[in-house]
Structure 1
Amino acid sequence: MNSKNNLSLSKPVLIIVRLGNLMESLLLIIGGCAVVLFLAAVLIDVTARQLFRPIVWMQEFALLAYVWAIFTGAAIGIRRGTHFKIDIIVGHLKGLPHRIVEVFDHLVTLAFICVLTYYAAEYAGMSLHHFSQPSGICMVYFTSCMLVGGICMAYFCIEHFALLFSGTDIKSVCEQLKEAGK
C-alpha cells in the first residue's frame, strides 16, 4: 500500500478514521477496565474461598468482566488487522492479487460479524428481563458486550474497506493524523 498524504484522502475517509480512533480509545478504556476488574474479581474470589466464606456472585462478576474484555479486544483486533488471516499467503502477494485477497478477507469477516451482531441483538433483547440467580444482575449486561463488540467490529471492517479503496491503510493514516496533530 502506498502511504498517501492525509490531505489527499477524502474528508469522509478522514472522518471515518477519526471516529474509529475515538471508538478504539473508548474500547481500550473499557477493555482495560474489564481486564483489571476480572483479575481483581478472581483474586478476591480465590482469597475469600480459601480464607473466609465464598462470595457467591464473584465468579459471575469475573465472567462478566471477562466477556467484555474479550469482545472489546476482538473489536480492537479487527481495527488493527490482527484478526485471523493466513499471513503465509497474504504476506507473499503483491499488487492486485494482494488487494483481491484483502477484499475477500474483509468480506468474509464482515459477513461473520453481521451474523454475530444480528444474533447478539436478538440475544440481548431476550435477556432484558432475565436476571442471574446468584447476583441478581440483569443478563443484558452479559449479552450486550456481543452487540457492542459486533457493531464496533462492523464499523472497523467498513473503515478498512474505505481505506483499502483509497489506497492506504489504518496505520499510515493514524500516523499521519498524529503528525498533523489532528
Structure 2
Amino acid sequence: MALGNRTLILARHRHLKWKALDPLEALLMILCGVSIIGFTSSVLLDVVTREIHAPWLWLQQVTTGFFAWGVFIGMAAAARRNDHLYLVEITKRLKGPPRTFMESFNRLVVLGVALCMAWFGVKNAILDLGSFRMPSLIPLTWYTASVPLSGVLIALFAVEQLANGWKNGFEGPEDTSDLAGAIE
C-alpha cells in the first residue's frame, strides 16, 4: 500500500518476506495508527470532561480497548518488520552457519512464545466471556481477544521469516554496512 511516493511496507529485510503478506502488514500499520489516535483522543476527552465536571465514564473503557489492541497489533506489525523481539545487534555481526543458527534460534523462540500467546490467549478470552466492564457491560473478551490474534500473526510472521531465511539466507543488503564507520 503506497501513500504518495511512500509505502507502509519496509523494503528492509525484503528477502525474508512474502509479498502475499504485504497487505496484512499495511493493514496492521493502519490499525496501529488508528489505535494511537483513538487512545490519545479518548484520554484527551476523558481529561476535558472530568475538568468540566461532566465525566464520560465509558471513555476509560474506550481508552483501555485502544491501548490493548494497539499494543498487541503493534507487536505483530513489529514482528513482521523485524523491528522487535529479535537479537538483531548480535546476529547482524555473524555470517554463514552461526548466523543461520542464531537467526533460527531467535525465531523459534518467538514462534514458541507466539503459539503460547495464541493458545492461552484463546483460553483467557473464553473465560473473559463471563466478565464484564462496568458501566457498559462489555465482555472483557473484547479486550483480551487481541492477545491470541497477535500470537497467531506473530507465529505466521516467524514461520515466514524462517522459511525465507532458510531459503534465501538471513543476511540482507542492509547488513553489509561498515559498523566501524558508523561508530566514528
Instruction: Tell me whether the two structures share a fold, i.e. TM-score over 0.5.
Output: yes
Name the % identity: 27
Q: Which has the higher helix share?
A: 1
The answer to whether the 8 A contact 1:68-1:145 is kept is yes
What SS does the aligned partner of 2:77 have?
helix
Q: In the aligned structure 2, how far is the partner of 1:170 from the partner of 1:138? A: 45
- Which residue of 2 is the match for residue 124 of structure 1? 125
**AA of the residue aligned to 2:66:** A
The answer to whether the 8 A contact 1:90-1:101 is kept is yes
Q: In the aligned structure 2, how far is the partner of 1:19 from the partner of 1:141? A: 28
Q: Which moved more, 1:144-153 or 1:122-131?
A: 122-131
Q: In the aligned structure 2, how far is the partner of 1:69 from the partner of 1:77? A: 12
- Which residue of 2 is the match for residue 86 of structure 1? 87
Cα distance change of structure 1 residues 156 and 86 upon mapping to structure 2, 3 Å threshold: closer
Normalized against structure 1, the TM-score is what?
0.79
Aligned residues: 160
Q: C-alpha deviations, 1:25-59, integer Å up to 9, x for none?
A: 22122221111111110000000011232111211
Q: Which has the higher contact order (CA 8 A, sep 6+)?
A: 1
Structure 2: tracts of 5 or more residues without a match: 1-13, 174-184
- Which residue of 1 is the match for residue 154 of structure 2? 153
**AA of the residue aligned to 2:42:** A
- Which residue of 2 is the match for residue 115 of structure 1? 116
Cα distance change of structure 1 residues 168 and 92 upon mapping to structure 2, 3 Å threshold: closer
Structure 1: tracts of 5 or more residues without a match: 1-5, 173-182
- Which residue of 1 is the match for residue 140 of structure 2? 139
Q: C-alpha deviations, 1:132-168, integer Å up to 9, x for none?
A: 1222222111011111111111111111011111115
Matches within 5 A, 1:10-159: 17-159=18-160
The answer to whether the 8 A contact 2:103-2:170 is kept is no
Normalized against structure 2, the TM-score is what?
0.79
Q: Note the C-alpha offset of 1:86.
A: 3.1
Q: Which has the higher strand share?
A: 2
Cα distance change of structure 1 residues 38 and 160 upon mapping to structure 2, 3 Å threshold: same
Q: In the aligned structure 1, how far is the partner of 2:40 from the partner of 2:161? A: 33
